[in-house]
Copies of this chain bind each other. A is one copy, B any other.
């Protein structure tokens, strides 16, 4: 399902890229220095809900989904993890979500005890851990607003703009350049609290309105960001 690999190549290339996403430089280094890189194939489980939270994770490449399943199969994706994102640090003893690879991915794992040790190292380290939780909180709160009060069009517009922002961090591309969508329609739907059909229809509408251009199902260009921001709410 997943195997240990050596990823010095990955480490160097990502350490060189001045990513602005993770607010916690010290934590990132912790993963680079004492983390074990693991490869996960598409749809492989990284950890499961209620499983002991022995490890914390950082995405090196690929993409992951952090989600919850209801007893009848309904699924809600809380967040996507893209390169640089840290996830799986828990207050309690067990994971409160399931984490799965969306695409073939490399994830670095560090022991829970190492994170705790890091937190008690110095004030700066403790602050970065607090900042990480706070940033996750802010993201979750934006998500609450989206799910509670936005229409399908607004949700999809917000999603596209958010994805453009994160993918612009890694690849310094032009504004109107096409971007890859790493997740399936089902993933997008479960993130936005919609169905695949509604996501698909909304994207088609956006294309008809001239807001986006779909080169393939997984490759989209934002043609009219101003209009998308209007729809943002």
Task: Give the copy number.
Answer: 2
Given A78-B141, A141-B96, A233-B71, is A130 in contact with B135 using a C-beta cutoff of 8 Å?
Answer: no
Answer yes or no: A172 CB below 8 A from chain B CBs.
no
Answer yes or no: A74 CB below 8 A from chain B CBs.
yes
Given A126-B126, A193-B149, is A141 in contact with B140 using a C-beta cutoff of 8 Å?
Answer: yes
Interface string of A148-185 (1 = CB under 8 A from B): 11000000000000000000000000000000000000
A75, A96, A119, A123 — which one has the most chain B CB atoms within 10 A of its CB?
A123
Question: How distant is the Cα of A70 from the Cα of B231 in the complex, in angstroms?
Answer: 12
Residues of B within 8 A of A72 (CB): 233
Tally chain A residues at the interface, Cβ within 8 Å: 38
A74, A90, A91 — which one has the most chain B CB atoms within 10 A of its CB?
A91
- When the two chains form their complex, are residues A193 and B148 in contact, meaning their CB atoms are under 8 A apart? yes
Answer yes or no: A34 CB below 8 A from chain B CBs.
no
Closest 8 CB pairs of A and B: A148-B193, A126-B126, A147-B147, A140-B140, A133-B133, A76-B148, A91-B134, A137-B137
